Structure 1
Amino acid sequence: MLFFLLLRCRKNRKWRPPQAAIIPNYHLPMRSFEVKNRTSAEDIKALRLITAIKTPYLPDGRFDLEAYDDLVNMQIVNGAEGMIVGGTTGEGQLMSWDEHIMLIGHTVNCFGASIKVIGNTGSNSTREAIHATEQGFAVGMHAALHINPYYGKTSLEGLISHFDSVLSMGPTIIYNVPSRTGQDIPPRVIHTMAQSPNLAGVKECVGNDRVEHYTGNGIVVWSGNDDQCHDARWNHGATGVISVTSNLVPGMMRELMFGGKNPSLNTKLFPLIEWLFQEPNPIPLNTALAQLGVVRPVFRLPYVPLPQEKRAEFVNLVNQIGRENFVGEKDVQVLDDDDFILVDRY
């Protein structure tokens, strides 16, 4: 009799879904309050010189952490305030995620008290971007750098959803470089993302008109173009620059960002900047650092060194600008083709 009563109660009872399954935002980021509270977006917004640091290699293609540590120390001593780890310049695109997160963690562990560590944890896969960003913040990075999905481009609503998925985790810089991604991030997307307190700002490569549009609306911008960064900073309201050139001449780039309008210094640096971007970054930078003797002349393919006549041009530029302004202490030299090691498996 009791069995039939229970059966009838079950039939008459209205089914209710389990409450634990009703979560308005079902993505719960793996975040730590300890890490989240260490650095705020406001701390990142104040940075004026951020170096997109180069990753040096051993002859077998593994990271040369001793050379890397020296490079980072040179940046700190010469006044860089922040550092992008594993960006385009650092060849994050050639790293496994294990390598990538390890290098971010190593940088935080060794230098996190002296410089802000911004990990490039962006991807064209939202799933990968979420996972890498969780890991990056877990190992202590101060902020994340995120690019829009490249190659498999998405819609504007897709861009908003992609960035919204990672912004909740911590301070974030959005990176707009259409020449590499094949898709511009238009102001509509950035203005939507600016509603998040975690948006530190934008690394903008479209040009100074776009920079001024954002700064005029209270959005922090770093110039992503070294050849435009002086005018971006002093004429268009940019906070500073995320720089490739500062790998080579960090002190001069700091003066360009901190010392007020200085067209003569900008003109002095322009031939070097022009040389650095004659081929896709980081090819010229890797060649230059090898010739300065601060990294081994090792390239992970598909990158290869500049031809010898271009390598000779760099030596002339160093002599014109002054060897004392460049990183390292060895004499600059023109390396021979046979001096370089090209690694295809690593």
Structure 2
Amino acid sequence: MFSGSIPALVTPFDATGAFDERAFRDLVEWQIAEGSAGLVACGTTGEAATLDKREHFEVVRVCVDQARGRVPVIAGAGSNDTSVASANLRAARDAGADAALMVPPYYNRPSQEGIFRHFEALAADSPLPIILYNVPGRTVTDIQPATVIRIVRAFPQLFVGIKDASGILTRATQHRLALGADFVQLSGNDETALPFNVLGGVGCISVTANVAPRLCAEFQTACAQARWDAALALHDRLYALHEAMFLDASPGPVKYAMTRVRPDFPPHLRLPMTPANEAARSAADAALTAAGLA
């Protein structure tokens, strides 16, 4: 159910800072038309940290409503408070999501045992399948492979996959050998999605796919069909864009690049996020030209 190119959608805001539903519905429609295989609403790139709970699950609901079952919708629902994370899972279910994307508790810095107990508690009454989201560069909490394996083996019907943004490619092999090919492994980093897929990954929860959904979808299709020469050519075509998306604090560069490929897309961010700096904008311009997108 979860494979291919899955954009971690940006959340558009209007000039007053309010959620721009029209622009978001247009974005969802465009993503599906361009070949995206799923959608993540209210992930990191969606500025979830700046949304209150009502807004957060309204964005999820709108995403589900516009997708109309054509692709699965994964809702960001993690929290550093286990009870809040549990409530978020129910809210994601009520909004119609097909699965939840769950980071381990951040800021608290729990031990590996604490991470396991957190997910064990969520498993007790989770109404949705869960995709683990390991992104230690943001959470300062790393779900070690032994803990991933322990969680999934304890609750194999619930924890169906992982978005691995650790940047440690050997983990794809460790997870695959321990959990089998049916455990869904999604790259959390566009720039390493090619080797990740070679090692057993089946897709990417992508930032770049916001800007270049068709090329990202074609890349994932080439990987799935083991057309590695074609995949490498697409990887090379997109590589500068992958890098440009993080030359300033994300999602500043992403939203800037969106305005280049979709001129009517609102560029606004919520503080503390700010527009991309000049260097990031110039890099994005050059990368879009190199990729044939602008």
TM-score between both structures, scaled by the size of structure 2: 0.91
| In structure 1, distance between residues paired with 2:10 and 2:37 | 16
Deviations 1:29-71 (A, max 9, x none): xxxxxxxxxxxxxx34xx2221100100111101111111111
| In structure 2, distance between residues paired with 1:169 and 1:305 | 37
| In structure 2, distance between residues paired with 1:277 and 1:312 | 13
Identity of aligned residues (%): 31
* Matched letter for residue 160 of structure 2: A
| In structure 1, distance between residues paired with 2:279 and 2:104 | 36
* Matched letter for residue 143 of structure 2: I
Work out which of the residue numbers 208, 220, 227 in structure 2 matches 1:245. 208
| In structure 1, distance between residues paired with 2:143 and 2:109 | 11
Q: 1:48 — aligned with what? A: 4
Q: Which SS does the other structure have where 1:300 is aligned? A: coil
Number of residues paired by the alignment? 279
Q: 2:143 — aligned with what? A: 185
CA offset at residue 132 of structure 1?
1.1
| In structure 1, distance between residues paired with 2:84 and 2:26 | 31
Q: 1:213 — aligned with what? A: 174
Deviations 1:83-116 (A, max 9, x none): 1110000011110011011111121122131111
Contact 1:81 1:116 in 2 (8 A): yes
Contact 1:174 1:201 in 2 (8 A): yes
| In structure 1, distance between residues paired with 2:100 and 2:218 | 26
Q: 2:238 — aligned with what? A: 269
CA offset at residue 140 of structure 1?
1.2
Contact 2:77 2:92 in 1 (8 A): yes
The equivalences for 1:192-341 within 5 A come to: 192-195=150-153, 196=155, 197-206=157-166, 207-217=168-178, 218=180, 219-233=183-197, 235-259=198-222, 260-261=227-228, 262-292=231-261, 293-323=263-293
CA offset at residue 158 of structure 1?
1.4
| In structure 1, distance between residues paired with 2:80 and 2:12 | 25
Deviations 1:135-154 (A, max 9, x none): 11122110001001111111
| In structure 1, distance between residues paired with 2:259 and 2:195 | 30
CA offset at residue 238 of structure 1?
0.4
Contact 2:249 2:273 in 1 (8 A): no
Q: Which SS does the other structure have where 1:118 is aligned? A: strand
Deviations 1:216-253 (A, max 9, x none): 221321011100001111x2010111100000111111
Q: Which SS does the other structure have where 1:242 is aligned? A: strand
Deviating above 6 A after TM superposition, structure 1's stretches of 4 or more consecutive aligned residues are: none
* Matched letter for residue 306 of structure 1: A
> Which runs of no fewer than 5 residues in structure 1 stay unpaired?
1-42, 324-331, 333-346
> Which runs of no fewer than 5 residues in structure 2 stay unpaired?
none
Q: Which SS does the other structure have where 1:214 is aligned? A: helix
The equivalences for 1:154-165 within 5 A come to: 154-165=110-121
Q: 2:66 — aligned with what? A: 110
**Which has more radius of gyration?**
1
Cα distance 1:124–1:88, how it changes in 2: closer, same or farther (>3 A)?
same
* Matched letter for residue 287 of structure 1: Y
CA offset at residue 309 of structure 1?
4.2
Q: Which SS does the other structure have where 2:190 is aligned? A: coil
RMSD of aligned residue pairs (Cα, Å): 1.5
TM-score between both structures, scaled by the size of structure 1: 0.77
Q: Which SS does the other structure have where 1:194 is aligned? A: helix
| In structure 1, distance between residues paired with 2:144 and 2:286 | 40
Q: Which SS does the other structure have where 1:298 is aligned? A: coil
Contact 2:248 2:280 in 1 (8 A): no
Q: Which SS does the other structure have where 2:191 is aligned? A: coil
| In structure 2, distance between residues paired with 1:125 and 1:101 | 18
